[in-house]
């Protein structure tokens, strides 16, 4: 059964490594990377089909 994913919120010890997993393994595209006020990195992705 096919499904679509709208959004996911994950806390990861290594955000850069996690981002690369999404890109390399799941085919996602990084739309934006930013750092929030508390110093944590936030990444926004788009799936391979947009």
Residue 48 CB contacts under 8 Å (≥ 6 apart), including other chains: 26, 27, 28, 29
Reported as a single tens digit per residue, the pLDDT across 10-27 is 888 888 898 899 899 989
Show the tokens assigned to 16: 């850069």
- Does any domain span residue 8? no
| Domain interval for residue 40 | 15-46
7 within a domain of the structure (yes/no): no
Q: Is residue 41 included in any domain, yes or no?
A: yes
Residue 21: predicted pLDDT: 93
Position 40 in a domain = yes
- In sequence order, which ranges of the chain are alpha helices (DSSP H)? 15-26
Q: Based on the structure, what is the number of domains in the chain?
A: 1
> Which of 40, 36, 46 lies closest to 16 in space, CA to CA?
40
Nearest-angstrom CA–CA distance, 42 and 35 = 6
Query: What's the whole-model pTM score?
Result: 0.68
Examine residue 26 and state whether it is found in any structural domain, yes or no: yes
């Amino acid at each position: 059964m096919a499904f679509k994913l709208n959004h996911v919120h994950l806390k990861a010890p290594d955000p850069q490594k996690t981002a690369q997993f999404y890109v390399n393994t799941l085919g996602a595209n990084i739309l934006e990377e930013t750092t929030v006020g508390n110093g944590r990195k936030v990444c926004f992705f788009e799936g391979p089909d947009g």
